[in-house]
C-alpha cells in the first residue's frame, strides 16, 4: 500500500487528478486547494461548477482549519456516525479551499473518511482531498471499480490498484446533512 500512497500523493502535489477507492464508492479527486485540478474534475464529470463536491479529511481536528465556524452539533453527529455508515456534513463558510470547489453560498461538504488508504493519502498530502463519484454527472454511480467507464478511467492522471478497495466499503453514497450555524439542519440524502 505504501507504494500506491506515495505515487498518489506525488500526482496530487503536481495538481493531478486521481481515481481511488473510498469508504463509500470509487471516487475521482484531487487536492482540494488546487483550483486547476478542481476545474479538471468538473470538466471530467461534465458537472456545473455551481454544485460543490465533497471534501475528505482524515481526522476531526482538521475540520476547523477549513471551516470558518463549525456548528457544535457537527461534532456530535460525526461522533455518533463513527464506525457506522459514512456521513457527510455540509457546513457553512468553507475557507482555504479552491474557490471553484465551493458553491456560491461558500458552504463545504466534509466527510471524515474511514478508509485507511484515503486517511494515509490525506495525512501525507497535508491537505483535504476532493471526492466525487467516479461517473459522469447524472449517470448511475458505479458501485465497484469494474463498473467505472473507460472515459473516467482514462480521464484522470492516476488510477489506484483495484485491489486497494476495502471490503468494508459501502458501495453507495454517504448520507448528507446540511447544517446552519444556528443549529438548524436539512437532510439532503439518506
- How confident is the model over 172-184, as pLDDT tens digits? 888 899 999 887 8
Q: Which fold has domain 2-189?
A: DHBP synthase (3.90.870)
% of residues, the chain, pLDDT over 70: 99
| Cell numbers standing for residue 63 | 475540520
Say what the pLDDT of residue 189 is: 87
Q: List the one residue out of 19, 37, 27 whose CA is nearest residue 160.
A: 19
Q: How confident is the model at residue 97 (pLDDT cuts 50, 70, 90)?
A: very high
* Segment 132-152 mean pLDDT: 92
The ranges assigned to domains in the chain are: 2-189
* Segment 81-90 mean pLDDT: 87
Does residue 42 carry a pLDDT above 70?
A: yes
Q: How confident is the model at residue 170 (pLDDT cuts 50, 70, 90)?
A: confident
* φ, ψ of residue 101 in degrees (nearest 5): -80, -30
79 burial (CB, 10 Å; 0-12 / 13-18 / 19+) is exposed
Share the mean pLDDT of the chain.
Answer: 92
Say what the pLDDT of residue 50 is: 66
* Segment 37-46 mean pLDDT: 96
Q: How confident is the model at residue 163 (pLDDT cuts 50, 70, 90)?
A: confident
Amino acid at each position: 500500500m505504501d507504494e500506491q500512497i506515495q505515487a498518489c500523493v506525488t500526482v496530487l502535489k503536481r495538481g493531478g487528478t486521481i481515481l481511488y477507492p473510498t469508504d463509500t464508492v470509487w471516487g475521482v479527486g484531487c487536492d482540494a486547494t488546487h483550483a486547476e485540478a478542481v476545474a479538471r474534475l468538473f470538466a471530467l464529470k461534465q458537472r456545473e461548477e455551481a454544485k460543490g463536491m465533497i471534501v475528505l479529511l482524515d481526522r476531526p481536528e482538521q475540520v476547523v482549519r477549513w471551516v470558518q465556524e463549525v456548528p457544535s452539533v457537527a461534532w456530535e453527529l460525526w461522533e455518533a456516525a463513527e464506525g457506522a455508515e459514512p456521513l457527510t456534513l455540509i457546513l457553512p463558510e468553507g475557507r482555504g479551499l479552491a474557490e471553484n470547489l465551493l458553491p456560491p453560498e461558500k458552504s463545504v461538504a466534509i466527510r471524515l473518511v474511514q478508509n485507511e488508504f484515503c486517511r494515509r493519502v490525506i495525512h501525507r498530502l497535508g491537505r483535504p482531498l476532493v471526492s466525487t463519484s467516479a461517473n459522469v454527472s447524472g449517470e448511475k454511480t458505479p458501485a465497484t471499480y469494474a463498473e467505472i467507464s473507460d472515459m473516467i478511467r482514462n480521464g484522470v492522471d492516476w488510477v489506484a490498484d483495484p485491489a486497494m478497495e476495502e471490503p468494508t466499503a459501502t458501495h453507495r453514497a454517504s448520507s448528507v446533512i446540511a447544517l446552519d450555524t444556528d443549529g438548524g439542519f436539512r437532510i439532503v440524502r439518506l
